Chain A
Amino acid sequence: MISFESVSLDIDNSQIFSDLNLCVGKNEKLLIQGRSGIGKTTLFRLILGFDQPRSGQIKVNGQPLDKAHINQIRQQIFYLSQDIDLKDEVIIRLVTEILEFNSPRKAPLEKMNRFLTLLELPSGILQKKTRDISGGERQRLGLLIGFLLDRPIWLLDEPTSALDDAMKEKISSHILSLDKTIVIISHDPVWKNNSIIKIKRWS
């Protein structure tokens, strides 16, 4: 589903990767661990086409990341960034805008309540603005958008860092039960408590 073929990348003259080979299969769950600052987030940025490698090739579903395929590729990927960089907007308006843009015919808003309950978000939160909610709520709002978008590939950057233990447990097991290709960057041990996830340690 996602493949890196001898990918090298430099940013500001310092080498981030050299000759990286990586393959994530369909519906595979991969946990990437490693100390901060070694380019884990950059890996996601490369898959999304936000950064471009110096050499090598990245493919998603066999398609290369280029002008002709980028829209098709981004359409399949849900990305939860570390800071969940949502624009400042009333949440319900933002969520509706995102959903309508992605599936103009029928926005899956009816599923909203189910996911709000799962994420333990009060429905009143929808009337607030994205900048006015707490870090934990923001993280769950990011996931809510992911559930509603229902794209086949998920790239999650520290998805549970602001959640309490019970919530971490509940959300991680729910995410891992999804029929999706999921790559997670996390320092959180909660992701390791199961047998389905593959772990890749970076040094």
Chain B
Amino acid sequence: MGAQDLSIFSLGILFVFLLPILYISRHLKFGINKPIIFSMGRMCLQLGFVGLYLEFLFKLDSPWLNGVYLMMMISIACYSILKSSRLKIVLFFKPLFLALLIPFAIILLFFNGVVVHIDNLFEAKYLIPIGGMLLGNSLRSIIIGLTNFYSGLQKNEKEYLYSLSLFNNRIQALKPWFRESIVAAITPTLASMATIGLVSLPGMMTGQILGGSIPIVAIKYQIAIMVCIFYTEYFSVILSILFSLKMGFNDLDVLNTNIFAKTNLHNQGKKF
């Protein structure tokens, strides 16, 4: 039993509600019509492409191909994290890739092998959607974590250097920023875990129920996936900060100033 298929036409009908939205935004000069159309268009294209691609992957179900696809997902995640965190991609890509890969691979394989007991650990049906959920959620936390860490340090550089002079140890001097960024990074997930089920039914569960699972099975999967998301986030945030330190600091433990990508913010600064 599965969910009823949607015809392209009936899916398209959903977009009628876009008309009043575009009208209102235009009438009130919100200036967001372009981004709305762009984002909607991108979502449709990307998901359409993934749909076709997944059909192909699921049919073939080759462990190697699935593995390569996951690596590609991690690479895109790294790129997007560094772009949002204003950090130079050339410098941080490799450490971040490892920071994502290690916890992600361990938790994902543990979930597939020990929790779900599937024979082929690399089975596309489990590997790719679950991998996507873990990665997608870690993405937001790592952006919060890295941004907090480096911008906090940049803002309070004097305080860091003073601690460095007193402790004479980089890790000890960095502790307050470590703590602050990790807490900031995992707080949203903690909050959503604490309210889940009361406010919203998570997407995965909804999908499973529509897909024909009985609610209790869907709930079990949901609990398992939330826990895995939290673990992956926690470790990948810590590792991404730890692994980035080598690039972030010079030989004398001072924050490198050339790690930040140039953005418009930088230009705005010149006006003052």
A-side interface residues toward B, CB under 8 Å? 45, 48-52, 65-67, 70-71, 74-75, 77-79, 81, 83-87, 98, 101-102, 145, 149
CA distance A71 to B251 in the complex (A): 11
B172 interface residue per 8 A CB criterion:
yes
Given A50-B254, A70-B252, A101-B168, 8 more contacts at CB 8 Å? A67-B251, A70-B253, A71-B169, A74-B165, A75-B168, A86-B159, A87-B176, A101-B167
Report yes or no: A49 in contact with B254, Cβ–Cβ below 8 A: yes
Report yes or no: A65 in contact with B252, Cβ–Cβ below 8 A: yes
B109 interface residue per 8 A CB criterion:
no
Report yes or no: B251 in contact with A50, Cβ–Cβ below 8 A: no
CA distance A145 to B167 in the complex (A): 11
CA distance A12 to B165 in the complex (A): 24
B163: chain A residues at CB < 8 Å are 86-87
- B contact patch SS: helix
B159: chain A residues at CB < 8 Å are 85-87
Contact among B158, B167, B254 for A83, CB-based, below 8 A: B158
Contact among A51, A65, A101, A145 for B172, CB-based, below 8 A: A101
CA distance A86 to B161 in the complex (A): 10
B168: chain A residues at CB < 8 Å are 71, 74-75, 101-102
CA distance A77 to B162 in the complex (A): 12
CA distance A50 to B164 in the complex (A): 10
Can you offer 25 A-B residue contacts whose CB atoms are under 8 A? A49-B252, A49-B253, A49-B254, A50-B252, A50-B254, A52-B250, A65-B252, A67-B252, A70-B251, A70-B252, A70-B253, A71-B169, A74-B168, A75-B168, A77-B165, A81-B162, A83-B158, A84-B162, A85-B159, A85-B161, A86-B162, A86-B163, A87-B176, A102-B166, A102-B168
Indicate with 1 or 0, residue by residue over B56-85, a CB within 8 angstroms of chain A CB atoms.
000000000000000000000000000000
Q: How large is the interface on B (under 10, 10 to 19, 20 to 34, 35 or more residues)?
A: 10 to 19
CA distance A52 to B250 in the complex (A): 10
B253: chain A residues at CB < 8 Å are 49, 70
A66: chain B residues at CB < 8 Å are 251-252
Report yes or no: B176 in contact with A52, Cβ–Cβ below 8 A: no
B-side interface residues toward A, CB under 8 Å? 158-159, 161-169, 172, 176, 250-254
CA distance A45 to B101 in the complex (A): 39
Distance in Å from the Cβ of B263 to the closest Cβ of chain A? 19
Report yes or no: B164 in contact with A74, Cβ–Cβ below 8 A: yes
Known A87-B176, A102-B168; contact A79-B162, beta-carbon cutoff 8 A: yes
CA distance A75 to B159 in the complex (A): 18
Most buried by A among B163, B168, B169: B168
B250: chain A residues at CB < 8 Å are 52
Known A52-B252, A66-B251, A70-B252; contact A98-B167, beta-carbon cutoff 8 A: yes
Report yes or no: B162 in contact with A85, Cβ–Cβ below 8 A: yes
CA distance A75 to B164 in the complex (A): 10
Report yes or no: A50 in contact with B161, Cβ–Cβ below 8 A: yes
B162: chain A residues at CB < 8 Å are 79, 81, 84-86
Most buried by B among A51, A74, A83, A98: A74
Report yes or no: A101 in contact with B169, Cβ–Cβ below 8 A: yes
CA distance A45 to B164 in the complex (A): 12
B252: chain A residues at CB < 8 Å are 49-50, 52, 65-67, 70
CA distance A77 to B161 in the complex (A): 13
A69: nearest residue on chain B (CB-CB)? B252
A45: chain B residues at CB < 8 Å are 161
CA distance A81 to B253 in the complex (A): 18
Distance in Å from the Cβ of B153 to the closest Cβ of chain A? 12
A75: nearest residue on chain B (CB-CB)? B168
Q: Give the 3 A-B CB pairs with smallest separation, nearest first.
A: A49-B252, A85-B162, A67-B251
A74: chain B residues at CB < 8 Å are 164-165, 168
Report yes or no: A145 in contact with B166, Cβ–Cβ below 8 A: yes
B164: chain A residues at CB < 8 Å are 74
CA distance A86 to B173 in the complex (A): 11
B166: chain A residues at CB < 8 Å are 98, 102, 145, 149
